[in-house]
Structure 1
Amino acid sequence: MDRKIEKKKWNTKRIMTIAGIAAVVILVGGSILFTSGKSKLNVDTERITISEITKGPFQEFIPVNGVVMPITTIYLDAIEGGRVEQKFVEDGAEMKKGQPIMKLANTDLELSLANQETAVFNVLTQMQISRDNAQQNTIGKLNQMADVDNALKESERVYKLDKHLYEQKAIGLQEFQKAQNDFTYQVRRKKLNLQILSQDTASTKVQAAQMKESYAHMKSTLELMRRKVGDLIVRAPIDGQLTSMDAEVGQNKKQGERLGQIDVLSGYKVRVDIDEHYITRIFNGLMGDFTLGDKTYKLKITKIFTQVTNGRFQVDMQFVGQVPTTIRRGQTLQIRLALSDQIQAVLVPKGGFYQQTGGNWIFKLSEDGKTAYRVDIQLGLQSPDYYQVLQGLKPGDKVVTSGYDNYGDMQELVLKK
């Protein structure tokens, strides 16, 4: 009797085929999973910093150091060079305007003054002589004019008399013509003398004006020379405190050399050093503040020195409102210089993550807090403590803000306690 043989569904060949396909699928899936960046790393939560995203007032500012200086400083330079002959006060003295500080000796300058005074005296003497001569010359011409007037009057009298006699046939024609010619001569002579006297008067006025101008010029030069000699006594230009005086008796000082300075003690300013990275964002009117004791004081930028030295530039800041009573010249202040107005912003605390990510992404914790995965973010302004978050995070989110040095290209962190 024949028996029906059933065909086996799971033979060896079929099992191996299915196993091969499964292996390929697993391999491809694993490859896709691996290459898609879903790599994980176990991290101990005690070795990382987890921070919460918050929303609150934010103001971009930078910490800078400033040195307290007098509100005004006047530098004392040697207007004229010379040897220090005498010191009237010492460094640190309180000065009044015009009070002498030191005396310099300059023999050449003093000799030049003496020569200039002699030259002015000679010019003045010569001017007096010239003026006397001009006056004598004018007097002589006036006397001559008086003679001409007298001669004219006499010739006119004789002419009129002879004319009458001639008309009466009492004298001859020749005698009458002589009288007429003499009168005509005297008239012309007076006109000529009037012209000469007028020219002499004008010339005398011009000469006198020139001498007066020359004398004024030489006198002005003499006054200038006297001031130059007077500058050998160095005086305080304003009320204040004498500081940084660098002069000893017997020491030679060149013209223009710094001798010291006068500090006005009516107020203070703060000279601040700033990194050149911020030079385009610094302008007059920017505010800053510092804390001294238990109080906060405000400052405002009033002057910017744009010259950059060793990667830094300087600004002057003045106090706004109350000034600390305990502040002293040369004191260093730690100032928070504001670069923006205060706004409400989403904030992430600063941390080492920025060095590896450049602020483009961050590890954000999952809702259960067991893992942290990469998310793209966009940061804006910054302060010493926070970054402003523009995109990618919201208040309440928790992120890993410590450094990412050991994470490589990991896409997810498994947090272990």
Structure 2
Amino acid sequence: MDRVIAKKKWTTKKLLTIGGIVALAGLIAASIYFTSGKKRLNVDTERITISEVKKSAFQETIPVNGVVLPITTIYLDATEGGRVEEKYVEDGTVMKKGQPILRLSNPDLALNLVNQETSVYNLLTQMQIANNNAQQNTVTKLNQMTDVENSLKEAERVYNLNKKLFAQKVIGEQEFRQSENAYNYQIQKKKLTAEILRQDSVSTNQQITQARQLYVGSQNALDLTRKKVGDLIVRSPVDGQLTSLDAELGQNKNKGERLGQIDVLSGFKVRADIDEHYLSRIYNDLTGTFEFANKTYKLRIVKVYSQITASRFQVDMLFVGEVPKGIRRGQTLQIRLALSDETEAILLAKGGFFQQTGGNWIFKVSENGNTAYKVNITLGRSSPDYFEVMEGLKPGDKVVTSSYENYGDMQELVLKKN
């Protein structure tokens, strides 16, 4: 008897065909997925830094390095060249004003002093001789004037007498005219003698004045030479600490050469180096802060040096309020210099991403936290810790702020947790 055999619905051939179709569809789907324009990269969340964007108080600051200096430094230069003969103190000594530091010798200057003293002595002697001669000449001229005046009086007496006698016809006209001529002659002689005496007096005064001026000039030159010789002993110009002393016994120092410096110990200032990029934004009264011994201190700019060296310029800052105890000359401070007032802003933590993106875009974490995708952003001002976000992010957004160096041109990061 024939038996009905049931037809199999899932044959091996059919199953293989269906499997092949599914695999092909998966392959096509995967191809479409991976060639759809988005390049993805799996990253371990433990190897990256994810930061949250927040809204908070913000102040634009820049980090600068400052060096502690004495509030006043006076440099010691050799006003006259010479050989170091004696050192009275050593580097680091606290000095009083006028206290000697070292002594130089200069034979040429010493010889010049002797010659100058001799010249002044000779001028003084010549001036005294000239004064004596002038006085004798004046006495002679005065004696001559006295003789002339006496002769004039006698000629006047004879003339007046002969005038009366001639009127009475006691004497002749010839005798009268002689007495008259003699009288007129004595009048003219007195005038001439008086003029000679006046001119002689003027000439004598001029000579004395010139001689005195020459003597005074020579005396001033002598005083200057004495001062130069005195400057061979280098003294402290103010109270302070002697530092950077560069002089050894027997060493020759040229005129104007730096010998050392005196640091005034009444206070300190800080000299900071700033990038030339900020020159137009730096001015007096800007403030900065720094940490010292777990305490914050404040500084204020009092002087801006516009000269640029190696793409940097300098500013001097003074302490505002309390000066840190134990601070020392030459100590380096890490200062945060404020370039703006404190305002509310959307803040993005600084990180290595900026080197690859230039602050133009960032990887933003999706809401489910499984991926991070590119978003364009606009950054504004900055501080040592944060960027100010102008566009592209809002408070609460999470972004990848670590370095993008290994991401290439990836469009999306697939965040994996181990």
TM-score of the aligned structures, taking structure 1 as reference length = 0.88
Cα deviation digits, residues 89-133 of structure 1 (max 9, x gap) = 222222111111111111110110000000011011111111111
Cα deviation digits, residues 354-409 of structure 1 (max 9, x gap) = 12211111122222323322221100111121111011111111112122233333
Question: Hey, what does 2:232 align to over in structure 1?
Answer: 232
Tell me by how many angstroms 1:200 deviates: 1.2
- Aligned counterparts of 1:102 and 1:415: Cα–Cα separation in 2: 74
- Aligned counterparts of 1:294 and 1:47: Cα–Cα separation in 2: 32
Cα deviation digits, residues 218-273 of structure 1 (max 9, x gap) = 11111111101110111110011111212222222111122111111110112223
- The answer to whether the aligner puts 1:382 opposite 2:394 as a matched pair is no
Residue pairs, 1:259-408, within 5 angstroms: 259-408=259-408
Amino acid aligned to 2:341: D
Instruction: Report SS of the residue matched to 2:237.
Output: coil
Question: Hey, what does 2:168 align to over in structure 1?
Answer: 168
Cα separation, partners in 2 of 1:276 and 1:51, compared to 1, 3 Å: same
Question: Hey, what does 1:9 align to over in structure 2?
Answer: none
Amino acid aligned to 2:42: N
Amino acid aligned to 1:327: I
Greater displacement, 54-63 / 122-131 = 54-63
Percent identity of equivalent pairs: 67
Cα deviation digits, residues 41-97 of structure 1 (max 9, x gap) = 333323322211101111222222222211111111111111112222222222111
Tell me by how many angstroms 1:30 deviates: 5.4
- The answer to whether the aligner puts 1:137 opposite 2:137 as a matched pair is yes
Instruction: Report SS of the residue matched to 1:174.
Output: helix
Residue pairs, 1:83-162, within 5 angstroms: 83-162=83-162
- Aligned counterparts of 1:267 and 1:318: Cα–Cα separation in 2: 9
Question: Hey, what does 2:79 align to over in structure 1?
Answer: 79
Instruction: Report SS of the residue matched to 1:325.
Output: coil
Question: Hey, what does 1:44 align to over in structure 2?
Answer: 44
Greater displacement, 116-125 / 350-359 = 350-359
Instruction: Report SS of the residue matched to 2:208.
Output: helix
- Aligned counterparts of 2:52 and 2:327: Cα–Cα separation in 1: 40
Residue pairs, 1:59-78, within 5 angstroms: 59-78=59-78
Point out where structure 1 has 5 or more consecutive residues left out of the alignment.
1-22
Cα deviation digits, residues 321-378 of structure 1 (max 9, x gap) = 1101211122222222222222211001111221221111112222232332222110
Instruction: Report SS of the residue matched to 1:234.
Output: strand
- Aligned counterparts of 1:105 and 1:276: Cα–Cα separation in 2: 47
Instruction: Report SS of the residue matched to 2:204.
Output: helix
Amino acid aligned to 1:160: N
- Aligned counterparts of 1:286 and 1:162: Cα–Cα separation in 2: 106
Tell me by how many angstroms 1:34 deviates: 4.9
Question: Hey, what does 1:4 align to over in structure 2?
Answer: none
Tell me by how many angstroms 1:412 deviates: 2.8
Cα deviation digits, residues 272-294 of structure 1 (max 9, x gap) = 23333433433332211111113
Amino acid aligned to 1:43: V
- Aligned counterparts of 1:34 and 1:389: Cα–Cα separation in 2: 33
Amino acid aligned to 2:113: L
Amino acid aligned to 1:175: E
Cα separation, partners in 2 of 1:251 and 1:39, compared to 1, 3 Å: closer
- Aligned counterparts of 2:307 and 2:388: Cα–Cα separation in 1: 31
- The answer to whether the aligner puts 1:189 opposite 2:189 as a matched pair is yes
RMSD of aligned residue pairs (Cα, Å): 2.1
- Aligned counterparts of 2:336 and 2:282: Cα–Cα separation in 1: 13
Question: Hey, what does 1:416 align to over in structure 2?
Answer: 416
- Aligned counterparts of 1:180 and 1:310: Cα–Cα separation in 2: 101
Greater displacement, 310-319 / 191-200 = 310-319
- Aligned counterparts of 1:406 and 1:79: Cα–Cα separation in 2: 64
- The answer to whether the aligner puts 1:178 opposite 2:187 as a matched pair is no
- Aligned counterparts of 1:43 and 1:201: Cα–Cα separation in 2: 112
Amino acid aligned to 1:173: E
Cα separation, partners in 2 of 1:51 and 1:227, compared to 1, 3 Å: same
Amino acid aligned to 1:278: Y
- Aligned counterparts of 1:332 and 1:203: Cα–Cα separation in 2: 73
Instruction: Report SS of the residue matched to 1:283.
Output: coil
Amino acid aligned to 2:388: Q
Tell me by how many angstroms 1:142 deviates: 0.7
- Aligned counterparts of 1:331 and 1:39: Cα–Cα separation in 2: 51
Instruction: Report SS of the residue matched to 1:184.
Output: helix
Amino acid aligned to 1:268: F
- Aligned counterparts of 1:246 and 1:410: Cα–Cα separation in 2: 62
Tell me by how many angstroms 1:311 deviates: 3.8
Aligned length in residues: 390
Point out where structure 2 has 5 or more consecutive residues left out of the alignment.
1-24
